[in-house]
Amino acid sequence: MSDGPLIVQSDKTLLLEVEHERADDCRKAIAPFAELERAPEHVHTYRVTPLALWNARAAGHDAEQVIDALISFSRYPVPHALLVDIAETMSRYGRLKLEKSDLYGLTLTSTDKAVLEEVLRARKIQPMLGERIADDSVAVHPSERGNIKQALLKLGWPAEDLAGYVNGEAHPITLTEDTWTLRPYQRDAADAFWHGGSGVVVLPCGAGKTIVGAAAMAHAQATTLILVTNTVSAHQWKQELLKRTSLTEDEIGEYTGTKKEIRPVTIATYQVMTTRRQGVYRHLELFDARDWGLVIYDEVHLLPAPIFRMTADLQARRRVGLTATLVREDGREGDVFSLIGPKRYDAPWKEMENQGWIAPADCVEVRVTLTDQERLAYAMAESEERYRFCATTPSKTRVTETLVRRHAGEQVLVIGQYIDQLDELAEHLNAPVIKGETRVKERERLYQAFRDKEIQVLVVSKVANFSIDLPEASVAIQVSGTFGSRQEEAQRLGRVLRPKASGGGARFYSVVSRDTVDQDFAAHRQRFLAEQGYAYQIIDADDVLASE
Amino acid sequence: MNTEFTEWLRGLADERLRVLVAARPELITPVPAHLEGLVIRATSPSATGRALDRLNRFALAVVETLLVMSPDDGALSYDDLRKTVARSMPSGDTAHLEEPLRDAVDRLQAMALVYGPDTALRLAPGVRDVSETPAGLGPPATEVFRHHPPERLEELIQAVHRGRPGREGAVVERLAGLLAEGGIVERLLDDVGPQARAALDELAWGPPTGRLPNARREVSVATAQSPIEQLLARGLLAATGDDSVVLPREVALVLRGGRVHRDLHPGAPSLDGAERDQSLADRTAAGQAFSFVRTVEELCEHWSVDAPGTLRTGGLAVRDLKRIAQLLDVPEWTAALVVEVTHAAGLVASSASVDGEWLPTTAYDIWRVKATEDRWEALATAWLTSDRVPGLVGERDDRDRLLNVLHPELRRPAAAEVRLRTLRVLASAASGLAPSSESVRERLAFEQPRRRGAYRDRLVDFTVREAEHIGFTGLGVMSVFGRGLLRGAEQSRPAREPQRARSAPATPAELLAPLLPEPVDHVVLQADLTAVAPGPLTSELGRWLALAADIESKGGATVYRFAESSIRRALDAGSSADDLVAMLEKHSTTPVPQPLRYLLTDVARRHGRIRVGTASAYVRCDDPSLLDEMMADKRAVPLRLRRLAPTVVASRSSRAVVVDSLRAIGYSPVAESSEGDVLVTRADSRRTERAAASRPALGPSVPDAELVAASVRAIRAGDEAHLARRHPVAAPDGQVPRSPSTGTVMALQEAIRQGSRVWIGYLDSQGHATSRILEPARMEGGYLTAYDQTRAAIHRFALHRITGVANVN
């Protein structure tokens, strides 16, 4: 009996024993075709999905390699049916190819006539096709390049897009590596993207995705459209680009709710792009405003549906997606695959942490016991009010204060969902608060002050969830959240994961009310964090208070 | 009736008759009365067809050669036969012809399909009638042209022999005679030109018929336009209907160059396919066997507590199948297979024929505690011998009814046989060879050429797929224990009594056992509240974990997840938090993670804080001292009072009893209207009796030696009677014999053994006592089959009506 580190489960998950001597080799062998799903301390779980297999195919791996990796590392015999299924699934990618022909423009060709016949008969595909050129190829309307890829993926025959890209309007961009250098993995990620043409780069929060974007622009040497989640994030991209590249203030435009600048490099928010007036997307022309050579999508996992539709029309332009996770809570991973491109680079959080690029974090859940009176009130609360009630219970305030005191001298973020609670906390902690109504100017002033350590405690609402850069926050205290979303968790954790000047570890507290729905949501969080491999600990609020 | 054949059969030694009926068991069900009866049955189209079905391609080719080369019931010598067969084989192979041909002829003689000495081998009557297009050849010319008008035939004869002197005899015979001459046909073929020749070549190797509009058109050599017309004009092609034509047999034989078959091979085609490592294949199969056993157990456990209903028509609803597929996390066809095999093994059965439920049987409890390898053997054997086809589930039958899993209509008589044959083919492959499905089908087509068809191909495909899933094969290669099981199934029929000597080969279970993964007694605990068992768990630990945690993923390993609900379940089952922690510490290779420890204590903290019990009545009183007094009263003891609170007492007796008793003691209680007995029940595992399922015989039924001998004896006896034109023997006068019933059976058994006659007393269906002279043949199922000399016929006698037995002499 072999004693490999890998156990193949019948549900197509792979269990990898981390402490096994061959675990490292095994991880490298299976990473191309299996998505890391959970990475707790001893046994990591990978999942083999069709998309993962197709990603592997796109990266040049074949079924033989995949099967060989499974058989050679598996401890127990691998079910034959699973191997057959893998080979079958992988063989589906690339049977159809989108190619450019001088005569017919865009064509769909196939090495397998039967497959071509099958897709030609699909009702969804037919309108996108032009005339039949030969037995094995058919013309495709150039405007349908994105849609047909989406539709083919749904049919289970993902097409390989070899139709190439337009170069776009040239614009010189270089990285100014004077006071800093590109980290090896950032360089690898940018190179991998460039060779693939289009695709997604998966890097943990704090791993410097912006810089990967800048490196991609340096490859493209062309005008670039950058789509980001919100205005603050747009500012930060701008700051980062000014700092890291040869671009000047005049070359970078912001296209947001307040400014509508179109420059060689333009940063737009998803929000403004998806604004509709009388049912019409009013800012669509931005996509055609210039001959863009590169489109960067920040936080691909949050890409809203209208942007997908617009992206379908941008298939001739190079596209790079940046994200911390391919998991989308709406399950549209397939659209990311077909419209933005396959995964081009991936590095798990833990690996990055071990290499010292991101700070290790300790997660602590603090359980607050409600007073008898609060419990009675909680039991009587309407069901829709229950979460708010237990999440904002006054008992939390005391614990939070104690925790802040415990970390006096460190940069502390207090994160919450409910404004009343945040205001109250701010008052108790004597700290400024950033919430939805805080003006952008004021926000940036506070962020800067926090960065400069003029203020050490900052209370923020969920507006700070995305793409803000707070390099020196070493402690985060979460008092309430949006019902345990995994997405939010990844983002909040990202806040404290950036490497610290001191090199010290980060702390992530969640204050939770015992025996309430708050605790149930915390269980989701706990699971997520533990699955990401973070040390997780549960302590009682009484212990915290007693330690005073 | 063909007397020659009858005499040949009669002249056979008993031993050969036994061989015959053993090879063709349908001839003795029921036992024919005499030899002529046997002949009639043996030469009937259905019996002949069944016999031919059993022939492999080579033996069938021998029959076809005889048929073609010896027209009109003529004979063919062995030498001529060999020459013709040799012509049909690719040159070079003929050196190895002698032995297989001899074997084939012997076999055909043993099966009474061919008879006669080597100098004149003849086909048994009836064979010709069931062979419509032997070797793809059309009918002989005499038959083809029989219904053509005489003047048309004359015309053809003119065209064929071109003015050469005519022959004598009927027109048809004359034409046929001309066509039978190879030289004439050759010459005609030269006349018609290449296009027409090509058309004939299309038909030469069969099928010999073609479609042609207006086939009966009038054409002559002079008027013929198209190539086809040239053929029709010369009788090289003949109309059989308004728009169909046929190639006469004589012409086809010339076109075939005197060969009856093309590329005939006496040996079975070889199997080819991917080469695998046999030990890897064995391990893979063992892994699959292990997971199959586990799936079956899981199914039964589910159905123990949540039994699906039996449909009115029998079977399991589609909805229930979908559900179980989801629960077991397998595709539906696999779920159907699991359910069917579990049922075939007698582990589940319907609790009642109408409105019943599918429940695990008592046999399941026995099966469950056996070792994995024994459990697998039981399941695999059940599958092997089942006459049901799980692969058909979800399809519709000829009457457009949906075929449900466990539905009675899922039976297919051929299923077990095809399954066994397919597996035998797989087992016959060289070690490590995974035969391709084409080569398996090709081999089966050789073994039973008359039985091929899309339906059987499907059965073969089902078998291959299911064999892989059950673990007979791994990576398409027959596993060593699968081979063992097949060997066992073939050796020990029909009585499967294990009388193995020490040197006997290992049982399938013994072969499987070392390949199964070693049970592990530890798990890896992780901070995300999962426990990973890196292999099959020892049963104690497995059961405990299944109680305290939910299974999340199965396969080589098992992933368990601890959740509040699962821990509560364990606490409900009587564990304490300390027990749980101790168990985890004992079996974990890593320290118990803090969040898990916290979860355990947290759930335990809240567990049992609210208590719920059963009481039939309560007594409440604002004055605790009065209740103190009542509790202290000895006369209240029978009420089994329990103090729940200072002012509340609960009783197990009913309200009326409590009120009455307290009154009797001297209190004045008042009954209170109330409700709220909360009963806490846990669904019990339920069982039903194992159904007495009919077990079909393994593969094609082979009658046991005793039955064969008895049948032959009966036929002989009947034949003697028949030949001697014996008249009914008068029953002896005097007192009808009487003997005790045990004596009756023994005396009859003795008579069967010795083949002697007996005198019995028998009560007929009206209850009249009669007296008979019998030649007993066999006894089974409470009946005696015997030749009744007093009636001169074979009869069956109910044993309980036989009043007594005496020797005749």
Chain B residues in contact with A7 (beta carbon < 8 A): 534, 555-557
Chain B residues in contact with A530 (beta carbon < 8 A): 526-529, 595
**What band does B322 get if pLDDT is binned at 50, 70 and 90?**
very high
Q: What does the pLDDT read at residue B380? A: 93
The two counts, helices (H) then strands (E), for chain B are 33, 23
Q: Given the structure tokens 């890196």, which residue do they identify?
A: B534
> Does residue A121 belong to the interface with chain B, where contact is any CB pair within 8 Å?
no
Rounded to whole angstroms, the Cα distance separating B27 from B48 reads 10
Q: Angle, nearest 10°, between helix axes A209-220 and A184-196? A: 50
Strands A13-17 and A43-47 come out as antiparallel
**What band does B499 get if pLDDT is binned at 50, 70 and 90?**
very low
Question: At residue B592, does pLDDT exceed 70?
Answer: yes
Average pLDDT, integer, range A285-307: 83
**What band does B165 get if pLDDT is binned at 50, 70 and 90?**
low
Task: Find the radius of gyration of the CA atoms of chain A.
Answer: 25
Q: Given the structure tokens 């050469």, which residue do they identify?
A: B164
**What band does B376 get if pLDDT is binned at 50, 70 and 90?**
very high
CB contact (8 A) between residue A80 and residue B284: yes
Q: Given the structure tokens 């001309």, which residue do they identify?
A: B178
Average pLDDT, integer, range B542-556: 85
Of A316-325, A345-354, A398-407, B152-161, the poorest mean pLDDT is in A345-354
CB contact (8 A) between residue A77 and residue B559: no
User: How crowded is residue A214: how many other Cβ atoms within 10 Å of its Cβ?
Assistant: 26
Exposed / middle / buried, residue B430 (Cβ in 10 Å: 0-12, 13-18, 19+): exposed
Rounded to whole angstroms, the Cα distance separating A233 from A244 reads 16
**Which letter, b or e, does each residue of B391-419 get, where b requires 16 or more Cβ atoms within 10 Å of its Cβ?**
bbbeeeeeeeeebbbbbebbebeebbbbb
Enter the ipTM.
0.80
B719 in Cβ contact with B34 (< 8 Å): yes
Question: At residue A1, does pLDDT exceed 60?
Answer: no
**What band does B680 get if pLDDT is binned at 50, 70 and 90?**
very low
What residues 432-451 of chain A have any CB closer than 8 A to a CB of chain B? Answer: none
Short-list B393, B216, B376, B385, CA closest to B285: B376
List CB contacts of B261: < 8 A, sequence separation 6 or more: B61, B64, B65, B88, B135
Q: Which residue of B has its CA nearest to A72?
A: B280
> In sequence order, what DSSP letters do the residues of A356-386 get, joined into one string?
TSS--EEEEEEEEPPPHHHHHHHHHS-HHHH
> Does residue A527 belong to the interface with chain B, where contact is any CB pair within 8 Å?
yes
Q: What does the pLDDT read at residue A498? A: 60
Q: What is the DSSP letter of A471?
A: T
| A271 HSE (CA, 13 A, CB side) | 10
Q: Given the structure tokens 């941008």, which residue do they identify?
A: A314
pLDDT tens digit sequence for B396-448: 877 888 888 888 888 888 888 889 989 999 998 888 888 988 889 889 888 88
**What band does B494 get if pLDDT is binned at 50, 70 and 90?**
very low
Rounded to whole angstroms, the Cα distance separating A55 from A49 reads 10
Q: What does the pLDDT read at residue B653? A: 85
Q: What does the pLDDT read at residue B700? A: 52
pLDDT tens digit sequence for A431-450: 898 887 888 788 888 888 88
Query: What type of residue sits at position B634?
Result: K
Chain B residues in contact with A538 (beta carbon < 8 A): 594-595, 598-599
CB contact (8 A) between residue B553 and residue A74: no
Q: What does the pLDDT read at residue A542? A: 85
Rounded to whole angstroms, the Cα distance separating A363 from A531 reads 12
**What band does A366 get if pLDDT is binned at 50, 70 and 90?**
very high
Q: Which of A7, A80, A537 sits opposite B594 (nearest CB)?
A: A537
Measure the CA angle with vertex B613, ends B608 and B617; round to 5°: 150
How many angstroms separate the CA of residue B745 from the nearest CA in chain A?
A: 57
pLDDT tens digit sequence for A113-149: 888 888 888 888 888 888 888 888 888 888 888 888 8
Q: Which of A45, A75, A77 sits opposite B284 (nearest CB)?
A: A77
**What band does A2 get if pLDDT is binned at 50, 70 and 90?**
low
> Does residue A538 belong to the interface with chain B, where contact is any CB pair within 8 Å?
yes
> Does residue A379 belong to the interface with chain B, where contact is any CB pair within 8 Å?
no
> Does residue B536 belong to the interface with chain A, where contact is any CB pair within 8 Å?
no
Query: What type of residue sits at position A530?
Result: A
Q: Please provide the average confidence, as pLDDT, over all residues in chain B.
A: 82
- Interface probe for B, chosen from A10, A512, A527 (most Cβ of B below 10 Å), is A10
What residues 268-287 of chain B have any CB closer than 8 A to a CB of chain A? Answer: 280, 283-287
Query: What type of residue sits at position A90?
Result: M
Strand residues in B333-379 grouped as ranges (E): 348-350, 358-360
Rounded to whole angstroms, the Cα distance separating B304 from B317 reads 17
How many angstroms separate the CA of residue A386 from the nearest CA in chain B?
A: 20
Chain B residues in contact with A81 (beta carbon < 8 A): 468-469
Chain A residues in contact with B556 (beta carbon < 8 A): 7-9, 74-77
Long-range contacts of B240-244 (CB under 8 A, 24+ apart): B240/B144, B240/B209, B240/B215, B241/B215, B242/B214, B242/B215, B242/B216, B243/B211, B243/B212, B243/B213, B243/B214, B243/B215, B244/B209, B244/B210, B244/B211, B244/B212, B244/B215
Q: Which two tokens stand for residue A187?
A: 């360089």
**What band does B678 get if pLDDT is binned at 50, 70 and 90?**
very low
Question: At residue A467, does pLDDT exceed 60?
Answer: no
- Interface probe for A, chosen from B291, B330, B520, B526 (most Cβ of A below 10 Å), is B526
Q: Which residue of B has its CA nearest to A42?
A: B526
Q: What does the pLDDT read at residue A491? A: 62
Q: What does the pLDDT read at residue B693? A: 59
Helix (H) or strand (E) holding A468: none
Question: At residue B674, does pLDDT exceed 60?
Answer: no
Q: What are phi and psi of A269, to 5 degrees?
A: -95, 155
Sheet holding B758-763, edge to edge: B793-798, B783-788, B769-780, B758-763, B802-807
List CB contacts of A11: < 8 A, sequence separation 6 or more: B329, B553, B554, B555
pLDDT tens digit sequence for A57-97: 888 888 888 988 998 898 888 887 788 889 889 988 888 88
CB contact (8 A) between residue A38 and residue B475: no
B462 in Cβ contact with B327 (< 8 Å): no
How many angstroms separate the CA of residue B531 from the nearest CA in chain A?
A: 9
The SS3 assignment for A33 reads coil
Chain B residues in contact with A43 (beta carbon < 8 A): 524, 526, 530, 532, 534
pLDDT tens digit sequence for B24-66: 888 887 788 788 888 888 888 888 888 888 888 899 989 888 8
**What band does B344 get if pLDDT is binned at 50, 70 and 90?**
very high
Q: What are phi and psi of B718, to 5 degrees?
A: -60, -40
- Interface probe for A, chosen from B528, B566, B590, B598 (most Cβ of A below 10 Å), is B528
Partner residues linked to B645 by β-bridges: B648
pLDDT tens digit sequence for A233-291: 888 888 889 988 999 989 999 888 888 888 899 999 888 888 877 777 777 777 777 88
pTM of the model: 0.69
Short-list B72, B85, B70, CA closest to B120: B70
Task: Give one word for B356, left, alpha or beta, with left for phi > 0 and alpha for psi -120 to 50.
Answer: beta
| A10 HSE (CA, 13 A, CB side) | 21
Question: At residue A210, does pLDDT exceed 80?
Answer: yes
Q: What does the pLDDT read at residue A393? A: 85
Rounded to whole angstroms, the Cα distance separating A66 from A68 reads 5
Helix (H) or strand (E) holding B538: none
Q: What does the pLDDT read at residue B500? A: 45
What share of chain A in percent tops pLDDT 90?
A: 7
Average pLDDT, integer, range A486-508: 64
Q: What does the pLDDT read at residue B462? A: 92
The SS3 assignment for B372 reads helix
Question: At residue B502, does pLDDT exceed 60?
Answer: no
Average pLDDT, integer, range B272-287: 86
What residues 550-589 of chain B have any CB closer than 8 A to a CB of chain A? Answer: 553-557, 559
Rounded to whole angstroms, the Cα distance separating A368 from A354 reads 33
Q: Which residue of A has its CA nearest to B284?
A: A77
Average pLDDT, integer, range B753-759: 82
Strand residues in B443-546 grouped as ranges (E): 473-474, 477-478, 524-525, 530-533
Q: Which of B291, B527, B598 sits opposite A41 (nearest CB)?
A: B527
Q: What does the pLDDT read at residue B346? A: 92
Strand residues in B610-756 grouped as ranges (E): 617-620, 641-645, 648-651
Q: What does the pLDDT read at residue B497? A: 45
Q: Which of B476, B557, B598 sits opposite A538 (nearest CB)?
A: B598
Instruction: Give the residue, B500 or A295, on which the prediction is more confident.
Output: A295
